[in-house]
Structure 1
């Protein structure tokens, strides 16, 4: 196993043991049995290490992830990924049942440290999934490289709001309004993409 693979395997083991683990350069290097300089050579920043690890994890766990369907434009793929998150919730009764479980698990009980840790672990898993999608698009040039945490938080907030709307009474089509919101959210995230990215050619 080469050095890069040893580093990624060590980081994956740390995450497997504790999903909230902080992948510091020193801790991962020690776990992999390499120097911090060697780790920096392969992963110049902590973010580069995290992005590579996320791509490895989700590439293995979700080989059919819509974000990898390069026959579609980046915008459509990101929309499909967001829709995939909302789909299992259903609407009306199904959505109310799902939110009831969430309420009883995390809102109704006293907010103990154990409860907070459990919820943050659940939230971090959702964040990592969105970060992975944005990282893939950045690698393709559809997004600028760098820290995607702001857009990740924005998209997660949009998803949480739409999931709640599915459970609430409404006077219009939930799915129509949801589609408009997802379109706006994805357009916002991709607004810094190169001008030619995913734009139809007008004649």
Structure 2
């Protein structure tokens, strides 16, 4: 099989997995046999590209978030590091929506990951989402660290986890009743978090 054919097979596998998730919900079971049958390849071929269901789900989720999140200015060193980091975090928050849409989104998350039975598909899906958020945040911090805009590179996983936890809290808060618009408070909170992560390097 040529490299081009190999790449095409990989893309068709991802498209089939994405179709199953679109049809059955984000915690749908990604059966190796079902996907292989849709694509018209052997299960061995599918395993060649994605050795585990988790690897397949991780890649589908990564592609979905690549599509949802616009390009960031994280590489634009003419903008202060803290501003770039906060803008990246705000882009993630934008996917959580606001008001009634935020409540619908949080209800869907709660139904899928808290109320539902904690089976393998639920666990795989949650971990794929969590890993993708962690990876993106670590990537942003690595860019800033390379410029001298973040502390010790060894701290990046821990600091990225902190920022993801802050985002989760704000996303939940958006779904709860509030007296005033939260947008200004959210931005202030993200600047506090960015300053805590970047220290004197921002």
Q: Could you report, residue by residue, the CA deviation over 1:65-90 in whole angstroms, capped at 9, with x for unpaired residues? A: 22122221111100100011111322
User: CA 1:19–1:185 in structure 2 vs 1: closer, same or farther (change >3 Å)?
Assistant: farther
Partner residue of 2:40? none
User: CA 1:63–1:157 in structure 2 vs 1: closer, same or farther (change >3 Å)?
Assistant: closer
Moved >4 Å (runs of 4+) = 18-21, 60-63
Distance 1:125 1:99 in 2: 18
Of 151, 154, 167, the residue aligned with 2:175 is 167
Partner residue of 1:93? 100
Q: Could you report, residue by residue, the CA deviation over 1:15-65 in whole angstroms, capped at 9, with x for unpaired residues? A: x736966xxxxxxxxxxxxxxxxxxxxxxxxxxxxxxxxxxx9xx988932
**8 Å Cα contact 2:85/2:140 also seen in 1:** yes
RMSD: 2.6
TM-score, normalised via structure 2 length: 0.63
Partner residue of 1:130? 137
Partner residue of 2:126? 119
How far did residue 93 of structure 1 move? 0.4
User: CA 1:68–1:174 in structure 2 vs 1: closer, same or farther (change >3 Å)?
Assistant: same
User: CA 1:177–1:118 in structure 2 vs 1: closer, same or farther (change >3 Å)?
Assistant: same
Partner residue of 2:158? 150
TM-score, normalised via structure 1 length: 0.63
Structure 1: which 5+ runs fail to align? 1-13, 22-56, 199-203
**8 Å Cα contact 1:19/1:121 also seen in 2:** no
Number of residue pairs matched by the alignment: 143
Which stretch shows the higher mean deviation, 155-164 or 98-107?
A: 98-107
Determine helix, strand or coil for the equivalent of 1:66. Answer: coil
Structure 2: which 5+ runs fail to align? 1-46, 56-62
Matches within 5 A, 1:33-52: none
Partner residue of 1:183? 191
Distance 1:93 1:190 in 2: 34
